Amino acid sequence: MLILGIESSCDETGVALVEVLGDAPPVLLADELHSQIKMHQPYGGVVPELASRDHIRRVLPLLQATLDKACRPLSSVDVVAFTQGPGLAGALLVGAGAACALGAALDVPVLGVHHLEGHLLSPFLSADPPKFPFIALLVSGGHTQLMQVDSVGSYKILGETIDDAAGEAFDKSAKLLGLDYPGGPMLARLAEQGDPKAYKLPRPLLHSGNLDFSFAGLKTAVLTQVKKIKDANVLAGQSQELTETQIVDVAASTQAAIVECLVKKSLAALVGSGLRRLVVAGGVGANQHLRESLNAECAKRNIRVHYPELRLCTDNGAMIALAAALRIQAGVAKPSKDYSFAVKPRWELAA
Ligand code: KG4
Ligand code: ZN
């Protein structure tokens, strides 16, 4: 069975083709991606209307490129999967509209996929796929959640952010340092050269006794810290602008605060559940410091950690085709010929 996956929930258009043969692990045949980052950069964030228009321009050429790469004709597609939510309504409608039109034209069923389930299951495409059950740390631009995952479709939320997501904390702190959107990866790069202990930043809810996170206060603390440094620079008779060293030190201190919260709560979730396997997914899962800290802490405790391939940490079509494939294989979803392409901009993954 050939499953076509289309992702268009935010600022990346992704298309992928996954093959399912019986119960064997699904195989990614080809995938294509177009990132809108450059287009949104002058605005300092995603402009929803521009995002939708660009998805429309990209989706069919990316589909053709994916088919060409996989050496499969469009007529060989058996199921068309698409991101049904959560995300920007207009952006989601483009993927859903394209998927349903293709489904109707080919007379094949379609399947709406939850974007976060795509992230969550993306490590199954890695060279070291996880086994159920496991604890999942889902860290993206819009979500930060710890879940117990017992099987495909069985997701129990153990804790989540009560305000900003971890990715948002990276991006907003980066903006305060004058870095371009999306600042997360750039802040991480600068942090590599900085001293993570240079500035004392809060670790919100670290000792809350539950598995929830809070990152909104951190952004305010970074803002206050940047102001303090500027004042001190002026007092010292220098330009108020942060020096290169000060910028990398703030970046490293911010990253250390975010990563410590993510690592400590993940370990607490593992201890609380008694599980010995952790899966990390979502854009922030690409963060090297997070990976190194988790690897070190989990190695000490004999806990296995799994990540998606680096390129599949951020949004892509492969994870959508894969999630559809795994849901169909597990018998928890049935594609249908309902081509009404209803999208769900707000959609909880787990109860
Ligand atoms: O999963 P994703 O691509 O989109 C959502 O579904 O939200 O995640 C994007 C987020 C952004 O906030 C971005 O800054 C962050 O992931 N991100 C990173 C890194 N790469 C992407 N944050 C920290 N370090 C990175 N290396
Ligand atoms: Zn995402």
pTM, two decimal places: 0.96
* Predicted pLDDT of residue 350: 82
| Helix-, strand-, coil-residue percentages of the chain, each rounded to 5 | 45, 20, 35
In this structure, the answer to whether residues 10 and 54 fall within a common structural domain is yes
Nearest residue (CA) to ligand 1, atom 7: 141
Nearest residue (CA) to ligand 1, atom 13: 184
* pLDDT(66) > 60: yes
Radius of gyration for the alpha carbons in the chain, expressed in angstroms and rounded: 21
Distance CA(140)–CA(254), nearest Å, equals 17
pLDDT digits (tens, 9 = 90+) for 39-50: 999 999 999 999
Q: What CATH number has the domain bearing residue 102? A: 3.30.420.40
What's the mean per-residue pLDDT of the chain?
97
In-domain check, residue 172:
yes
Residue 188 CA: which ligand 1 atom is closest? 24
Residue ranges making up the domain that contains 105: 2-121+313-330
* Predicted pLDDT of residue 351: 56
Q: How many domains does the chain have?
A: 2
Residue 289 CA: which ligand 1 atom is closest? 24
In-domain check, residue 293:
yes
* pLDDT(137) > 70: yes
* Predicted pLDDT of residue 341: 87
351, containing H or E segment: none
Contact predicate 9/115, CB 8 Å = yes
pLDDT digits (tens, 9 = 90+) for 267-324: 999 999 999 999 999 999 999 999 999 999 999 999 999 999 999 999 999 999 999 9
**Ligand 1, CB within 6 Å, residue ranges:** 119, 140-142, 167, 170-171, 182, 184-185, 188, 282-284, 286-287, 314-315
In-domain check, residue 348:
no
C-alpha 115 – ligand 2 centre gap (Å): 6
In this structure, the answer to whether residues 260 and 302 fall within a common structural domain is yes
In this structure, the answer to whether residues 142 and 19 fall within a common structural domain is no
